[in-house]
Chains A and B, each alone.
Chain A
Amino acid sequence: MTNNANDWLNEHGDYLYRFALARLRDPHQAEDAVQETMLAAIKNNSFEGESSARTWLTGILKHKIIDLQRKLIREQPISDLVDLDASETSMDDFFDKSGHWLEKPQFLEMPENALQQKQFLSILNTCLDKLPAKLSAIFMMRDVHESDNENICKELNITATNAWVMLYRARMGLRKCLEIHWIAG
Chain B
Amino acid sequence: MKLMLTCKQASQIISQSLDNPLSWQDRLRLKFHLFICDACTRFNQQLHLLNTVIKRIIKTTESDNTIQLNSEAKARITQAIESSSH
Contact = CB atoms under 8 A, between A and B. Distances in A.
A98 B50 CA distance: 27
Contacts of B53: 110-111, 117, 120, 124
A178 to B, nearest CB: 7
Interface residues of B, number: 47
B12 interface: yes
Interface residues of A, number: 55
A143 interface: yes
A47 interface: no
Nearest to B10: A99
A69 to B, nearest CB: 15
Given A39-B80, A163-B19, 15 more contacts: A9-B77, A9-B81, A13-B69, A18-B62, A18-B63, A38-B81, A99-B6, A100-B6, A110-B52, A124-B54, A143-B50, A149-B20, A168-B11, A168-B16, A178-B46
Contacts of A178: 46, 50
Chain A: interface secondary structure? helix
Contacts of A2: 81-82, 84-85
Given A99-B8, A164-B19, A168-B15, A17 B68 contact: yes
A77 interface: no
Contacts of B69: 13-14, 17, 31, 34
